[in-house]
Structure 1
Amino acid sequence: MPIKLEHILKRVHALPSLPTAAVKVVALTKNPTTTVKELETVIGQDPALAAGMLRQANSAYYGYARRISSLQDAIVMLGFQVTQGLAMASAVAPMLKTTLVGYDIDQDGLWKHSMLTAMAAKRLCQYLKLSFGEIAFTTGLLHDIGKLVISVYIQEVNTYLLKKVQEAKFSYVELEEKVIGYNHATVGGFLAKNWNLPDDLVEGISFHHSPLNAPNYTELASIIHVANGLSSLLNTGGGVDSFFNPIQKEILDRLALKENDLERLLADIGEFLVDPAIFG
């Protein structure tokens, strides 16, 4: 039952836009001339966004001994790129906290899986001494947003997909494309582009299941691919497809990651699951 592109795009455009302040924060944090005051002013115009950011900033994940009580403190202490991740997490949380019947995802499942993937992506960058950890965090946070669009189509064919994925030598995401015409990663890229997000985020989302096909940001897409796989291994509610989209060996080889590296990373990121400020 291949779906026409016009129908996919119609559902993409029907989803709520990101808060204007969050989109501005992404743009501002990429501009080297931006000041702390400019960021504080933009975020302060959206009280819900500001409150969500401060809640996240005070979670154990960021590890500050004293309470961060103002936006200025958060921006100065955590830095511009971390601020970008905080803003995006606070902006998309209501959207990601939704039940997706097609993927058998409960109300908090996609949020937990997305946050843990973001954390795993940043941790991977630290582990591999890569400089784009905060970009990877934001990309990991948004990597599965395409599921918001195509879950309704998956619902109609999920039994068939699960049957075929166990019979054939295809991953679940490959079967999504064969049966529906589009997979959730590609559709996520459409959505990110519709939100006017930067090219690196769009590409990291679009190719997180096929990093070697990414034209410009293969390394970022590879990090998200592995982070997504690690998060799935911790069973964080990413969906019925989680165990049928395994981490590709060629991507592990490309990043020079061995089994013992993955075990260590799993132990590191698993500790964050007990943080009530994020997962409570």
Structure 2
Amino acid sequence: MEKTNQKLYQKLTYKVGDLLPLPTTVSELIKLANNPNVTSRDIGKIIERDQAMASKILRLANSASYGFSQRIRTISHAIVCLGFNKVKSLALTVSTLKMLSDSLAKYNLDAGALYKHSLAVAVAANIIAEKTKAKDPEEVYLMGLLHDIGKLIINTHTTNELEDVWTYYKTHKDIKFFQAEKAVFGFDHADIGGEAARGWNLPNELCNAIGYHHTPHSAPGDNRCAFIIHLADGIAKTIDIGKGLSSDQSIAVELEGTFKERNLEVINLKNEDIMGIREQVSIKLHEVIDELDNNEDS
């Protein structure tokens, strides 16, 4: 690794919570999620304070996807019909949509690309956690949504620094983009994302999952969440969002790296599990995207 660009690192991490404030609704939902005594009414109150979010959730709840015979008119009613965890996931998904939907020109990402990838990772993480029972599916869903938040911070608060990263990336074969960031900056977008999560006072496990999603073996303490997000990220990269499963070549590339047996063993997965999980993720992801797209159109 090259020497860390301390000036740039400090610029991106000093009062990072001010550089990119976490939406109040997301922050409050996360705090409540870690409270064992939280009630459906508590969640409902938070969502209802954000009228735009409440309206979107009610439109989703009344969509054909759920097929309820009676109209759902309140968030409390939505929680009764859809369930506590489903409404919480919808709220987190809708609230992060605004943060992640813009284009990231310096990363060559079109509008919506970061959000759809993050959603794919969230869905994959949720399915992996359900299958392995390694971690709470709802917790890792949020980690998936926020895992690349460091890209947004770097894209927004740098000038032309990423040009050097792109040059390095294009002139060095067989490396991933985060490795080019490490080589040029001495840190990568995951490091910045982890610091952002700490600046938002999020739980340590969530901070580590974001900060070490490319290097889960280095995550301190219980690193299973970091491994789940790492594997979910790999699965998401093999799905052509908008079309379905991509080529076998993309799977082969990930099998050489992300899906190594030593990575899978941490959360009790085997290579033969990956294809089944991948198919589940593709189906579920496109269902969620269709729901959100229909909601925006209505």
Could you say which TM-score interval applies, normalised by the shorter chain? 0.7 to 0.9
Cα distance in structure 1, aligned partners of 2:203 and 2:82:
21
Comparing 21-30 with 10-19, greater Cα deviation is found at: 10-19
CA offsets per residue over residues 205-245 of structure 1, 9 Å max, x none? 111111111112311110000001100111449xxxx9998
Match of 2:258 among 243, 247, 255: 247
Match of 2:10 among 6, 10, 14: 6
Q: Identity rate of aligned residues, in percent?
A: 33
Shift of 1:30: 1.7
Shift of 1:195: 2.0
Aligned to 2:276: 264
Listed as ranges, the gaps of 5+ residues in structure 1 are none
Match of 2:234 among 216, 229, 234: 229
1:148–1:129 Cα change, 3 Å: same
2:131 corresponds to which letter in structure 1?
Y
Cα distance in structure 2, aligned partners of 1:161 and 1:214:
26
Aligned to 1:25: 29
1:248–1:187 Cα change, 3 Å: farther
User: Where do residues 51-130 of structure 1 align in structure 2 (5 Å cutoff)?
Assistant: 51-55=55-59, 64-66=66-68, 68-130=72-134
Aligned to 1:206: 211
Which structure has the greater CA radius of gyration?
Answer: 2
Shift of 1:146: 0.4
1:51–1:10 Cα change, 3 Å: farther
2:218 corresponds to which letter in structure 1?
N
CA RMSD of aligned residues (A): 2.8
1:193 aligns with 2:198: yes
Aligned to 1:163: 170
| TM-score using structure 2 length | 0.80
Shift of 1:80: 4.2
CA offsets per residue over residues 134-173 of structure 1, 9 Å max, x none? 1010100100000001234663224323224416xx4332
Shift of 1:69: 4.4
Aligned to 1:145: 149
Cα distance in structure 2, aligned partners of 1:123 and 1:270:
11
Aligned to 2:245: none
Cα distance in structure 2, aligned partners of 1:198 and 1:204:
10
Shift of 1:10: 4.7
8 Å CA contact 2:78, 2:87 repeated in 1: yes
Cα distance in structure 2, aligned partners of 1:56 and 1:158:
41
Cα distance in structure 2, aligned partners of 1:212 and 1:112:
26
Aligned to 1:277: 291
1:72–1:64 Cα change, 3 Å: same
Shift of 1:256: 3.8
8 Å CA contact 2:165, 2:184 repeated in 1: no
1:247 corresponds to which letter in structure 2?
T
1:183–1:142 Cα change, 3 Å: same
CA offsets per residue over residues 51-81 of structure 1, 9 Å max, x none? 3334555678xx7442654311333445444
Comparing 108-117 with 67-76, greater Cα deviation is found at: 67-76
Cα distance in structure 1, aligned partners of 2:63 and 2:239:
20
Aligned residue pairs total: 272
1:30 corresponds to which letter in structure 2?
N
1:78–1:201 Cα change, 3 Å: farther
Cα distance in structure 1, aligned partners of 2:72 and 2:224:
33
2:102 corresponds to which letter in structure 1?
T
1:157–1:14 Cα change, 3 Å: farther
Cα distance in structure 1, aligned partners of 2:275 and 2:283:
13
